[in-house]
Amino acid sequence: MTLRVVQWATGGVGVAAVKAVLEHPDLELVGCWVHSPEKAGRDVGEIVGVGPLGVTATDSIDEILASEADAVIYAPLMANPDEVAALLRSGKNVVTPVGWLYPSARSGATMREAAIAGNATLHGTGIAPGGISEKFPLMLSAMSTGVTFLRAEEFSDLRTYEAPDVLRHVMGFGDTPDKALTGPMQKLLDTGFIQAVRMCVDQLGFAADPKIRATQEIAVATAPIASPMGTIEPGQVAGRRFHWEALVDGEPAVRVTVNWLMGEENLDPAWTFGPEGQRYEMEVRGNPDFTVSVKGFQSEVGGEGPEYGVVGTAAHCVNSVPAVCAAPPGIATYLDLPLISGKAAAPKTGTDR
């Protein structure tokens, strides 16, 4: 049975999600919400650059609520809980990279109630958080016993991140260290990453302190650094590192870290990615200890192609749709859903062969 999917927002994730729906054998694109007035009324295929699809984008939430669809991939700039609740109440399953990975009973109560009222399911997913930070290390931990420590860590060069406003005004690059340390980034990241750490703690059964320790470090430029937001001058923030840790007897038992650097030169402290370069890394310590490094989601500086972490995020959302539609109403996390995989490409035909 083909499931009918609506794409909510056509930014980086949204565009990749539309393309992923088109490639998925069990899904059909039936609608699309856009924030930008100039995109409303246009064919979605033209918006995402694949040619006409016969599906028209709308900026009306009422139109989406009234439409017949099985699932919405909800990927706007910022989550609006009222919208998500309305989508669930209208009977649409929601898969999203913007939250609800592992909400507590209290923080998830409103959404759970809306989902049950609409006989629908909400699932939060992504890459980090939402994949590399908890789901995949937990899966890997099945190959060890007596686990004492779990780590997930991102090493990314943000010179490929073509979002100057986000880099400057949200992420605090180019600010003074004091300004960056007191800016919005820690709070913005905390919710998702703390849920990721809590999921690992609960699933592994660590007797951890309920308070997750959130800390951050800063590196400044020692010489001018060219970046998508312009030149970062000496003394300005050019590297940020955030850690979220669950502590057992004062020692980290689960740690999720992001390392976001504007290159590996002219930084103080002299942070680098090490010889392995940009990657996501997952480590399990137990019987046995092991480390897994994942490459391919970060673009090379000056390279071609989209940001593959964004494409991976969209794929993770899209591939989850059948399992989420089949799940009982409420909030479904990775701990509730069966194995989710990609799907084989359509067989090549005629001259493609």
Ligand X SMILES: NC(=O)c1ccc[n+]([C@@H]2O[C@H](COP(=O)([O-])OP(=O)(O)OC[C@H]3O[C@@H](n4cnc5c(N)ncnc54)[C@H](OP(=O)(O)O)[C@@H]3O)[C@@H](O)[C@H]2O)c1
Residues that bind ligand X (CB under 6 A): 9-14, 34-36, 39, 75-78, 97-98, 126-130, 310, 313
The residue behind tokens 């998500």 is 84
C-alpha–C-alpha distance, residues 310 and 14, integer Å? 9
The nearer residue to ligand X, 193 or 206, going by C-beta atoms, is 193
In whole angstroms, the minimum distance from the beta carbon of 243 to ligand X comes to: 17
Could you tell me if 204 and 232 are in contact, meaning their C-beta atoms sit under 8 angstroms apart? no
Select from 10, 56, 14 the least CA-distant residue to 36.
10
Look up residue 2 and give its DSSP letter: P
Cβ neighbours of residue 99 under 8 Å, at least 6 residues apart? Answer: 79, 124, 191, 192
The nearer residue to ligand X, 74 or 206, going by C-beta atoms, is 74
In whole angstroms, the minimum distance from the beta carbon of 194 to ligand X comes to: 14
The nearer residue to ligand X, 97 or 263, going by C-beta atoms, is 97
* In 205-328, alpha helices (H): 308-326
In whole angstroms, the minimum distance from the beta carbon of 67 to ligand X comes to: 17
In whole angstroms, the minimum distance from the beta carbon of 332 to ligand X comes to: 16
Could you tell me if 267 and 239 are in contact, meaning their C-beta atoms sit under 8 angstroms apart? yes
In whole angstroms, the minimum distance from the beta carbon of 257 to ligand X comes to: 15
Which two structure tokens, joined as six digits, stand for 198? 């809590």
In whole angstroms, the minimum distance from the beta carbon of 18 to ligand X comes to: 10
Other CB atoms within a 10 A radius of the CB of residue 222 amount to 14
Conformation bin of residue 69: beta by default, left when phi > 0, alpha when psi is -120 to 50? beta
The nearer residue to ligand X, 118 or 126, going by C-beta atoms, is 126
The nearer residue to ligand X, 101 or 150, going by C-beta atoms, is 101
The nearer residue to ligand X, 80 or 231, going by C-beta atoms, is 80
